[in-house]
Amino acid sequence: MHDHAFLEPECSIANPRPDGRMEIYTGSQIPYADREQVARALGWPESRVHIIGMTIGGGFGGKEDIAGQIHAALLANVTGRPVKLLYDRHESLIAHPKRHATQIRVKIGAKQDGTLTAVETELYGDTGAYASLGDKVMTRATTHSSGPYEVPNVLADCYAMYTNNPPAGAFRGYGAPQAEFALESLMDEIAHELGRDTVDFRMQNVVRAGDPIPITNALGEGSAVEQFIISYALPECVEQAGASIEWQRRSDPNWKVDPERPHIRRGLGLAIAMHGTAIAGLDMGGADIKMNDDGSFNLLVGATDLGTGSDTVIGQIVAETLGVPLEDIIVYSSDTDLTPFDVGAYASSTTYISGTAALKAAEGVRQQIFERAALMLNTTTEGMYLHNRQVFTPSGRSVTLAEVALHSLHSQDQRQIQATASYVSPYSPPPFGAQYAEVEVDTETGQVTVKKLVMAVDCGTAINPVTALGQIEGGQAQALGYAEADPTFDVEG
């Protein structure tokens, strides 16, 4: 098992309102699911429960389950007084679901020339005393158990097993890390048996742009569109990260054994991975954008910012679409009374799902701005564009967004410029990544020390490179924790 170790433990405040409603402040990844579950526990209609998502000190999947929300609401309902329930670290470690401890059997067939012919996997995940998201996590583990490789024959079975252990549920990667660790370990063994460089052996067999993704399609995880890779920069990831860590050193005997410390052995390792973005046909995000009198905009989005910076990223998408600086976008998120519906912040989906919803809403607002500006300038909307808080015609005539807003709100044909949109992913496009590790092994004590990690990720276009880099570095830190490695290391993303 692997614990999320988020900085902020679980906390909920339930406040019974004079109008008979229950107001709950909580740090949760799934506020709308919280509302539904609290209402069920109280025997109330959902309209009587108001969930207000607060700034969260990390989640990583560990805040996708009820952790105090129901308990605080029940106590507040009985006492008629506000109730705050805050876990200490010990309680947090006991109560919230962990990463699934998983036993995995992998069998791979390969020809003498290195071509993969078949992969067979069998996965048993310890889901603990309660189901939580065990079935979904183990399904995702299975869809990734043949990795990012083109394999003509795949057989996979998975089981979520009830045990007397603490419950297991969602955790960053959602089952894929366990499956791909097992697969990548065996890929190294096969490369060794064939006398092949592990990088060359992998690159011989990886899926290419346009190739089907073996298990993902077979299980119907997405529509036919998912048969094709959307963004494909895996070769560049492998090449650039390999150059950074100086992969060629692994064959240098003078580097592998330090003459001054002959009991120390050095080595380099590589693993490649893919991980589907969002859950096809399930993840949904919504956004609403309203133009204010001064040309600024209120953005209401159902997504929860877990500390990943999604409020900023989604605001950036809207700001770029509407031709204004980010400070003109006032973001409200994660409030079940005010913001549009959102399934939850998980599965690496917020920028993709909620960001797309915000983009669609922004495009609707932009069109309304064009129509109002065309009325003001006595022209058509053709060729209009937004820049620097202004609407421009192709000939260079312009009006400011503040002027457009005032005209729309105070002219004879008054109209609020506003648009709402939602987005449901029809498929789960897989980003790719490559990670190299430099390790030292003390042959006298068995101590393994990770000296350097280098990861390269194909994330498409990084809307906010700083937060994207933070995601990479955070993933590397948690990976080291998962491997129980020496915490003194250098990372490069």
Kindly report, residue by residue over 209-220, the tens digit of the pLDDT. 777 666 655 444
In this prediction, residue 219 carries a pLDDT of 43
In this prediction, residue 429 carries a pLDDT of 79
pLDDT in tens, 15-73: 999 999 999 999 999 999 999 999 999 999 999 999 999 988 899 999 999 889 999 99
pLDDT band at 492 (very low <50, low <70, confident <90, very high): low
pLDDT at 425 over 90: no
Q: For the residues 170-196, what does the mean pLDDT come to? A: 95
Pairing verdict, β 398-400 and 329-333: unpaired
